[in-house]
Structure 1
Amino acid sequence: MKIKVGITGQHGFVGKHLYNTFGLFPDDFERIDFEKHFFEDDKKLDFFVSECDTIVHLAAVNRHDSEQALFDINIGLAQKLVESLKRTESKAHVMISSSTQEDRGNLYGKSKKEGREMLAKWAEEYGGKITGLIIPNVFGAFGKPFYNSFIATFCYQLTHGEIPSIATDGEVKLIYVQELVDVIIHEIRKGNSKPEFVVEHTATKKVSEVLALLNEFRSKYLDSGEIPAIKDRFEHNLFNTYRSYINYETYFPVKFTQHTDARGAFVEVVRLGIGGQCSFSTTVPGVTRGNHYHTRKIERFAVIKGKALIQLRKIGTDEALNFYLDGNQPAYVDMPIWYTHNIKNIGDEELYTNFWINEFFDPNDADTYFEEV
C-alpha cells in the first residue's frame, strides 16, 4: 500500500529535493501537495493533514531581520500544525526538521527545539508518531544563496563574477541534501517514533577548505572546461552543487578549440581529472535520444558532426532550455543533475555525438529516470 506523504515547505530547498525524490518511487509513495497559504486557512490545512499518512514538517524561517519574529513565526507554524492534527484526530507519522543549533542559546535554535517538543507532546497524548530530526548544516544543488548555507552563497558568487569572503573560518559539520533525503525516506519506511533523532553529518570541513575547492572548480571547470579531480563523495556532491549555480542559458554551448591543417581538424573533447565512460553515437535525421535525467551523474554531450538541438528542463518546472549545435563549430553542453534532457538530429545528415559520463553504466543502479523534456 502506498504511503500518502505531504511536505510543509514543499517549495523550499530541502522540500523540493524530497518531493522530487518521492516521485522516483511511484509504487511506494503518493505525494499530497502542500501550499504555503494552507497555514492561513484551517479548512485547507485540515484537508491536507487528513489526507496524509506521513507529514514532513519543513516549513520554517531560517533568517529574519528580527530574531524574535523568526522565533514567533517558527513556533506559530508548529502550533498551527499541532492544532490541525488535533482537529482532524490524525494518527499520522509527523517528521519535523530541527537543527544542531538547538542548544546554542539563539532564538532560532530555541524555536526549532520547542517546535519539536510541541509535536512530540501531541504524539504522546494523541497516539500519533513523531520523528524529531536534528539536522547538521545542509548543502546541495539549488540552495538559496545568502540564506540556506555559506556553500550556496560561495557557489553563487563564484559563478556570477563575485569574490567570496570568509567571516569565520571554523569547522562545519555538513550533510548533502540528497543524503538527508535518503535518511528521511528510510525513517518513513521504518515508521518508528523517535522524538529526538540526530542525523549524522557526512563531512567535517573548514570554511576555507570548501572555498579552496570551489575556487578550483571555477578555475578548471568554468574557465577551462576541464572536469576537475574529484577525490571522494563529498567533493562529488560539492561539484554538482557548484554546477547548479551556473547560468546555463548564457554559458552553454561551449565551443571547442579546433586545430586545423592540411590533413583536417583536431578537437580535444574532454580533459578529465577523473575517469568515467566515453561513448560515441550516430543519429539519423529527425530522431531524438534521451528524455531522461540523473540525480548524481556528471555528463557531457559533444556534437562533432551534423546539427543538433539539445534541450534541458529542470524537474518540477515547465520551461525548456534550447541549445543549437553545429558540427562545423564543434561544441558541448554538460547536463546538470535533476534536469531531464535530450538531443535531436535537426539536420539533413547523420549526427555524430561524443558522450562522456563520470561513472560506468550499472543496470542495477543506473541513476537514469525517464521523463519527456
Structure 2
Amino acid sequence: MVTGADGFIGRNLAGALAGLEDVEILRFDLGNAREELREMAEVADFVFHLAGVDCSQDVEEYDAGNRRLTEELVACLRQVGRKIPILLSSSTEAETEHPYGRSKRGAEAAVLGYAKDTGAPVFVYRLPSVFGKWCLPNYNSLVATFCHNIANDLPITISDPGVTLSLVHVDDVVGEFMGQLEGKFGPQLPVAALLSENHWTPYAVYPVYPLKLGQVADLLYYFKAGRDNLTIPNVGDEFTRKLYCTYLSYLPENRFSYPLRAKAAAGSPFVEFFRTPDRGQVSVHVLKPGSTMGNHWHHSRCEKLLVASGRGVVRLRTVHADKVLAYFVSGGNPEVVDIPSGFAHHIQNLGDTDLVMVLWANKPFDPECPDTILLEV
C-alpha cells in the first residue's frame, strides 16, 4: 500500500515497485475515500505512508493531512490484527516548532505508538529536501522551481545565495525504501524498547548533498548554456550527474531537440555534437562515396575514429617516414582507430554509400588555433 501515490516520491516509488514480480500496488491519494483507506489496510502486507501536507496557507491543513491522517491509518492497521510493517516519510522539519513540523511529529508519534503496542516493524524517515524528476515546481522545492523556471526561460529569485541546502535525490530515497521492503538492511531498530526510554532514532537517507543555493543556480544556468556552447558537464561528480538528469526532465516538451551547426576544419566538414571541459570533443562526419577526408596532421591533438555506417580505410604515416599504415573499417565491424599526434592521416570512403563516422578529439577544435597542418599521406 502506498499513500500519496500520486505525489513526487510516491510516483517514483510506484515506478520501482512496478518492476517487482508478484507485487500488487494499492494506491491511496486525494481522490480516494476514507473507506478505501480501511479496505486497503485490511489486505496490505507493507505500508509506505508518504501522504501528507507540506505547503499550505491554512495551519489546520497541516494537522489534518499529517497527524490526523496518520492516526486514521494506524487505527485501520490496528483493527486488522496483523503486525503490518509501516514506513513513514517524515521530515527534518519535525525538529522545528513550525506548524508543519509539529504535525509531522504527531504523525511520527502515531506510528511509533503503533509499533510499541503491536510489535509491528516501523521505519520512520526524516528526510531533508528531496530533488529529482516529477517534483512539482513552484510549490515547496527550490530545486524543482529553479529547474522549471530556468528550463522555461523564466526568472528565479535568490534572496541569499549563501544559504546551504541539504539535499537527497529521489532515487536514493526510493532505493532506501525498497531496501526496507525487501529486508536488505537487517533487523529493524528496537523502536518499542527505545520508546520505553522516551528516546528513538529516526532513519536517514544517504548521501546528503550540502549545496549553497547560489551553487545550485549556477549549475543549472551552466546546463542551460550547454546547448549553445555544446558543453557537457563533468558528470563524474555524483551530485552534478543527478542534478543534470533532473534539469533535463523539466525541459518543455517542444524543446527536447536543438540544432547543431556544420563547421569545417582544413576543408573537412563536420558537425560538432558536444564538448566537455575535461574530456575533449565529439563530432560527426559524413563522407560521400569516393571522397577522402584529412591529409593533415596535428602537434598536440589526438583522435579516436569509429565508423557507424559504410566502409572505408584510415591511412596514417608519421611525418618523418614514408611507411603508410592502413586500417580498413566498416559499420558492420565496429572498431576504434587511434590517430596519434605527429601522424599524417586521411579517411577514404571505399563504398557506394555515405561513410558516417564519430570522431573524438582530446581537445575541441579552435579555429583561432587549429593545430592542423596539411600534408598528403
1:272 maps to 2:264: no
Structure 1 counterpart of 2:25: 32
In the alignment, residue 214 of structure 2 is paired with which amino acid?
A: S
The alpha-carbon deviation at position 351 of structure 1 amounts to 11
* Contact persistence 1:46–1:88 (CA under 8 A): no
TM-score calculated relative to the size of structure 1: 0.67
User: Helix, strand or coil for the counterpart of 1:154?
Assistant: helix
* Contact persistence 1:227–1:274 (CA under 8 A): no
Counterparts of residues 245-284 of structure 1 (less than 5 Å): 245-247=250-252, 249-259=253-263, 265-273=269-277, 275=279
The alpha-carbon deviation at position 232 of structure 1 amounts to 0.9
In the alignment, residue 137 of structure 1 is paired with which amino acid?
A: S
* Contact persistence 1:157–1:163 (CA under 8 A): yes
Q: CA–CA distance in 1 between the matches of 2:258 and 2:47?
A: 44
1:106 maps to 2:98: yes
The alpha-carbon deviation at position 87 of structure 1 amounts to 2.2
The alpha-carbon deviation at position 198 of structure 1 amounts to 3.2
TM-score calculated relative to the size of structure 2: 0.66
Structure 1 counterpart of 2:13: 18
Structure 2 counterpart of 1:204: 210
Task: Flag the 1:244–1:86 CA change in 2: closer, same or farther, 3 A.
Answer: same
Task: Flag the 1:214–1:47 CA change in 2: closer, same or farther, 3 A.
Answer: same
Q: CA–CA distance in 1 between the matches of 2:280 and 2:115?
A: 48
In the alignment, residue 215 of structure 2 is paired with which amino acid?
A: E
| Higher Cα radius of gyration | 2
Correspondent of 2:59 among 58, 67, 71: 67
Correspondent of 2:173 among 175, 180, 183: 180
Q: CA–CA distance in 2 between the matches of 1:223 and 1:180?
A: 34
Q: CA–CA distance in 1 between the matches of 2:248 and 2:235?
A: 14
The alpha-carbon deviation at position 57 of structure 1 amounts to 0.3
User: Helix, strand or coil for the counterpart of 1:122?
Assistant: helix
Q: CA–CA distance in 2 between the matches of 1:129 and 1:261?
A: 66
Q: CA–CA distance in 2 between the matches of 1:223 and 1:142?
A: 26
Q: CA–CA distance in 1 between the matches of 2:46 and 2:135?
A: 25
User: Helix, strand or coil for the counterpart of 1:266?
Assistant: strand
Task: Flag the 1:166–1:266 CA change in 2: closer, same or farther, 3 A.
Answer: same
Q: How many residues align?
A: 281
Q: Which segments of 5 or more consecutive residues in structure 1 lack a partner in the other structure? A: 1-5, 281-303, 306-348, 357-373
Structure 2 counterpart of 1:345: none
Structure 1 counterpart of 2:372: none
Task: Flag the 1:351–1:163 CA change in 2: closer, same or farther, 3 A.
Answer: farther
Counterparts of residues 279-290 of structure 1 (less than 5 Å): none
1:142 maps to 2:134: yes
RMSD of the alignment, in Å?
A: 3.2
In the alignment, residue 175 of structure 2 is paired with which amino acid?
A: D
* Structure 1 residue runs of 4 or more that deviate by more than 6 Å after TM superposition: 260-264, 276-280, 349-356
Counterparts of residues 1-373 of structure 1 (less than 5 Å): 6-24=1-19, 26-27=20-21, 30-36=23-29, 40-42=33-35, 44-168=36-160, 169-190=162-183, 192-194=187-189, 195=191, 196-201=201-206, 202-220=208-226, 222-247=227-252, 249-259=253-263, 265-273=269-277, 275=279
Per-residue CA deviation, residues 234-253 of structure 1 (Å, 9 max, x unaligned), is: 11111111111001x31133
Task: Flag the 1:113–1:275 CA change in 2: closer, same or farther, 3 A.
Answer: farther
Structure 2 counterpart of 1:362: none
Per-residue CA deviation, residues 167-219 of structure 1 (Å, 9 max, x unaligned), is: 34421211111111111122223364345423145211111111111111111
The alpha-carbon deviation at position 145 of structure 1 amounts to 0.7
Q: Which segments of 5 or more consecutive residues in structure 2 lack a partner in the other structure? A: 192-200, 285-307, 310-352, 361-377
* Contact persistence 2:274–2:281 (CA under 8 A): no
- Percentage of matched positions with identical amino acids: 26
Task: Flag the 1:260–1:213 CA change in 2: closer, same or farther, 3 A.
Answer: closer
